[in-house]
Amino acid sequence: MTNAPITTTSPIDSFQGINPATGEALPGFFQEATTDEVAQACELAAKAFSEYRKKSGAEKAKFLEQIATEIEALGDELLTRAQAESGLPLARLTGERGRTTGQLRLFADYLREGSWVDARIDTALPDRQPLPRPDLRQMLRPLGPVGVFGASNFPLAFSVAGGDTASALAAGCPVVVKGHPAHPGTSKLVGEAISRAVTICGMPAGTFSIVQGRTVAVGMAIVNHPAIKAVGFTGSFRGGKALFDAAARRPEPIPVYAEMGSTNPVFFLPKILQEKGSVLAQSYVGSVTLGVGQFCTNPGLAIVQQSPEVDMFLQEAGNTITKSQPAAMLTQGIQRAFTEGIGKLSEAEGVNVLAQATAVESFAHGTPTLLKTTADALVANPALAEEVFGPSSVIVEASSREQLLAVANGLEGHLTATVYGTDDELLEYTDLLEILEQKVGRLLINGFPTGVEVSHAMQHGGPYPATTDSRSTSVGTNAILRFARPVCYQNFPDALLPDELKAANPLHIWRLVDGKWMS
């Protein structure tokens, strides 16, 4: 598991990292985890849970901060390996490392403050008629061991020490990570950093484990193990739905919090295009191609309303995408799926390729592409709005305001939706905003959705099929709520209560006492 060395010879059932820019196999072989090894990790996590669940907020906070410190101590070795395995530029990875350590420290601060447990106290009313009220005290408690699946597009921030791991550990849940096979060396380095933090902070063995592998069997072994009580996943719809279905078939079904993709529709209203259509076209293409389009918030769908200004917008967007440069995608498999998806879209009835960058013959380069269709075609074929992961977007032209609203009404669930409009125009389209509020987890005005702030107020989730649970977020401190459940303590002696619920409030946290918030 975490301490297994990188071997220099090719053992049976092993694999290597691949440089997506060149197709070159990178140094080191990584062992495919066996079913027994996965079971051992899950059983260790279950054993650790009995102790780790009792750790105080301060102890867990120190642990998360130590993880951040150990990751930073890896220095350039981590960034160099991550670049080789992902093809992402060093500047992007440096920022992503900062986001990774920053969210660990954010959760540490959140734990020290302590009010996340949502403590609620209804004191006893022995003289109440016709029946007395018992003393009732409720707070959130950890679920149990959590299985986490690393994502391909964020080898640090959504991977081994990413938001799922950070929030699960913060909640008091041991974690078993399935490292993404696209960056096994990066995963191993970060896994070792977390393991060092476990030892330094005196956390129980099994608080964290990582298993690696390319096969579906490794991930399914985690989901199906009875010790695992929840799963966090970021990836494709197909992968997330398979895990969700497997978890539902277990003798004891468990929640799977899967972020499964989104096309994040952007609505450009007529007046704003009159004022700044050219600038918006350029910014739109910049958002589409950012990170080779491999963000879950990539604007893969744009909706406009017929007007002379739209023609100018389309021309400028097409010119801009033509000048963009193809770049290596995360894996050859992702590049193939992108190319096939563009081919399928371009052959669909009513869809035309508006513009495309010059293709580059290479191992895994994706070619930026804009496609155009009509609202009628989209209504007839809703699959046109499905995600094609990569640097592309479909522009949908509506013939009227009513048709634009019909497009919005027909959307499935997405992570985000954006509306661009002037101040007066936005007031005229409040009905559009009301529709979109029912479709997404984050609604933006005059700003592209790429870029997700890690904060207390962020919501990174949305109605199905964007996620399997629209009430949850995978970014921000509310992510901790996925891995906790409410427990009520009735008529407990004060000495037996958790500190969060004791009469004296020794942690000085905010609590709802007899219907009033107080600290």
pLDDT at 513: 98
Mean pLDDT of the chain: 96
Residue type present at position 284: Y
**pLDDT value of position 11:** 62
Residue 161 DSSP SS3: coil
Phi-psi region of 441 (alpha: psi -120 to 50; beta: other; left: phi over 0): alpha
User: Rounded mean pLDDT of 441-456?
Assistant: 96
Domain ranges across the chain: 35-260+472-482, 266-445
In total, the chain counts a number of residues equal to: 519
The pLDDT value given to residue 7: 45
- Evaluate the CA torsion angle 101, 104, 109, 110 in order and state its sign: positive
Q: What is the pLDDT of residues 141-182, one digit of tens each?
A: 999 999 999 999 999 999 999 999 999 999 999 999 999 999
> What is the pLDDT confidence band of residue 270, given thresholds at 50, 70 and 90?
very high
Rounded-to-5 percentages of helix, strand, coil across the chain: 45, 20, 40
Catalytic residues: 259, 296
Question: Is the CATH number 3.40.50.2300 carried by domain 35-260+472-482?
Answer: no
Q: Answer whether residue 112 shows pLDDT above 50.
A: yes
Give pLDDT tens digits for 345-361.
999 999 999 999 999 88
The predicted structure's pLDDT at residue 91: 96
pLDDT band at 3 (very low <50, low <70, confident <90, very high): very low
**pLDDT for res 12:** 64
Q: What is the mean pLDDT of residues 299-318?
A: 95
Task: State the pLDDT at residue 274.
Answer: 96
For 45-108, what is the HEC assignment? HHHHHHHHCCCCHHHHHHHHHHHHHHHHHCCHHHHHHHHHHHCCCHHHHHHHHHHHHHHHHHHH
Q: What is the pLDDT of residues 390-424, one digit of tens each?
A: 999 999 999 999 999 999 999 999 999 999 999 99
> Average pLDDT in the 189-206 region?
98
What burial letters (b/e) apply to 184-205, b meaning 16+ CB within 10 Å?
Answer: bbbbbbbbbbbbbbbeebebbe
- CB count within 10 Å of CB 36 equals 9
Q: Is the pLDDT of residue 5 over 80?
A: no
pLDDT band of 10, cuts 50, 70, 90: low
pLDDT for the residue numbered 236: 94
Start-to-end C-alpha separation, the chain:
44
What are the start-end ranges of the E strands in 296-377? 301-305, 327-328, 352-356, 365-366, 369-374
Does the pTM exceed 0.85?
yes
Q: What pLDDT is stored for residue 50 in this prediction? A: 98
Contacts of 166 (CB under 8 A, 6+ apart): 64, 103, 104, 107, 479
CA distance 108 to 59: 9
Query: Does residue 130 have a cis peptide bond before it, meaning omega lies within 30 degrees of 0?
Result: yes
CA nearest to 345, candidates 313, 387, 282, 404 = 387
- For 316-364, strand residue ranges (E) read 327-328, 352-356
Q: Return d(Cα 437, Cα 414) in angstroms, integer.
A: 10
**Residue 168 contacts residue 53 (beta carbons within 8 Å):** no
| 111: nearest Cα among 33, 40, 57, 172 | 57
- For 177, which DSSP code? E
Name the nearest CA neighbour of 301 among 336, 273, 260, 261.
261
Query: What pLDDT sits at residue 27?
Result: 95
pLDDT at 137 over 50: yes
Peptide bond into 465 cis (omega under 30): yes
Average pLDDT over residues 247-255: 98
Q: Token pair of 459, please? A: 């919501």
> Around Cβ 518, how many Cβ atoms within 10 Å?
10
**Which distant-in-sequence residues (6+ apart) come within 8 Å of 343 by Cβ?**
none
What is the second-level CATH architecture of the domain 266-445? 3-Layer(aba) Sandwich (3.40)
Chain centroid offset of residue 175 CA = 16
Helix (H, G, I), strand (E, B) or coil at 130: coil
Strands (E), 368-413: 369-374, 392-398
**According to the model, what pLDDT value does residue 360 have?**
86
What is the distance between the alpha carbons of residues 292 and 38, in angstroms, rounded to a whole number?
34
